[in-house]
Amino acid sequence: MIQGDGAGVMSRRKALWALAAIFTLGLIVRVVVVAQAPSVLRGDEVYYDNTARSIAAGKGYIRSDGRPTSFRTPLISLFIAGVYRLVGDSPATVKYLQAVIGSAVILLLYLLGALWSGRELGLLCAGLGAIHVSFVGVAIRLHSETLYTVLLLGFIVGYVRLWDRPTMRLALVTGVLLALATLAKPSPQALPAVILLGFLFERRRPERRLRRDLAAWAVLTASFVMVIMPWSVRNYRVHGRLVLLTTETGYVLNHSYYPKDGKIYGVTDITPMKLAADQIVEETAANAYLTRAIVRDILDHPVDKIIKLLPLKLAFYLSPFDWEVFGGNGTYNFTYVFLLPFGLVGIIISAQAWPRSLPLFAVLGYMVCLTLVLYGSSRLRLPIEPLLVLFAGLGLQRLWAVRRRASLWRGAVAGFFVMNALLFWRTAETKAYARSLFEGLGVW
């Protein structure tokens, strides 16, 4: 039975000491990994580094030709620029700070787990978050995912609490966290609408008071809009037209519906439409042209561009190989594979707690649907992996409570972890075997 009040058998004092130890371990692991990270910037890192240097130099948020840009949301560039202003142009310093900031995931996972089912689950989630490969490795790149994951998880904690006990102050804070997450990466921009639908969907339940829920939603949405608005106003001033968040939409669609060689996501394919858009100097006009051209092509070929690509998008979203965070040709994410089966058990357990679990499934469902509309990758999956940790924690907790043949079950869990760790250690061989297997099955 999932507890609703966050109470647990463990005392608060012991839980905090244990949490401090887990946090310290997680921070040390992240700092050690960052210390061994490559110093060469690549891909999106170059963009964030260049825009941050421009901001730090007082030139504003501009692209390489000196024109103002809104190609990506600004939070990560502003963060890096702030560091550069304080200590000089030092990407290494930013990565160490990201290791510290990313460690906040451990604390937030404890809060989410404790809120959901007591301090024991909170500590289990914190421990899993401390060693999870995705959370440890994300700090080695100048990407938006470190800030984005922390902010989105903070929003999820607020949303779960808001669903149980709506207050205007909590709604305000939750809306601000969601807005900051959106300024780190625009993916969650439609979540206020999802939250409203959740309140309306469950309005007839006796424990819900629609007027109170709508008031909380209004405060959340107002705070969200107020934080986003300065960026949107700035975009209108520099471009002369409305740009709510980014001018990257067309390029994301190009990546989503034209995978390289028809089957590879994570590498942008050069299509005739993209080449034509690149010839348009004005950024918003290029984005508008590319968006219209791709939407028209999708509507003309719905089977090829929608139906046939869905399995590929989902496969890349669920892939155990991470080729974006760690780079290279793909690293076997052994903790993700370890957590996945227990996460599925946790999802079943959480579904039994409906409608209390609605916020969890609302965010998860929204992000998965967004993947199917756009594209899947390990990097895009990372911000909702805290939910995987929570669900896996529930699954492991339930399995650990089994009394019959307890030693056998626990030994199987330990063996499964060790097996995946060994596959991680031999990533190259693991990937080669997986590739030959899928080629033999005719699916690659």
- Smallest CA-to-CA distance from 182 within 107, 76, 288 is with 76
Does 131 fall in a domain? Answer: yes
Does 433 fall in a domain? Answer: no
- Smallest CA-to-CA distance from 309 within 267, 255, 384 is with 255
CB 159 within 8 A of CB 359: yes
pTM of the shown model: 0.94
CB 363 within 8 A of CB 161: no
pLDDT band at 6 (very low <50, low <70, confident <90, very high): very low
What residue numbers bound the domain in which 98 lies? 12-241
Above 90 in pLDDT, residue 160? yes
Does 380 fall in a domain? Answer: no
CA pair distance 399, 393, nearest whole angstrom: 10
Mean pLDDT, to the nearest integer, of 133-158? 96
- Smallest CA-to-CA distance from 143 within 75, 189, 190, 83 is with 75
Does 79 fall in a domain? Answer: yes
Tell me the per-residue pLDDT of 257-315, one tens digit each, with 9 for 90 and over: 999 888 888 777 788 999 999 999 999 999 999 999 999 999 999 999 999 999 999 99
Does 249 fall in a domain? Answer: no
Does 19 fall in a domain? Answer: yes
Q: What is the pLDDT at residue 236?
A: 97
Does 226 fall in a domain? Answer: yes
For residue 200, the SS3 value is: helix
Above 50 in pLDDT, residue 239? yes
CA pair distance 393, 390, nearest whole angstrom: 5
Tell me the per-residue pLDDT of 13-40, one tens digit each, with 9 for 90 and over: 999 999 999 999 999 999 999 999 888 8
pLDDT band at 5 (very low <50, low <70, confident <90, very high): very low
Mean pLDDT, to the nearest integer, of 95-107? 97
Lowest mean pLDDT among 69-78, 118-127, 329-338: 329-338
Does 124 fall in a domain? Answer: yes
**What is the domain count for the chain?**
1
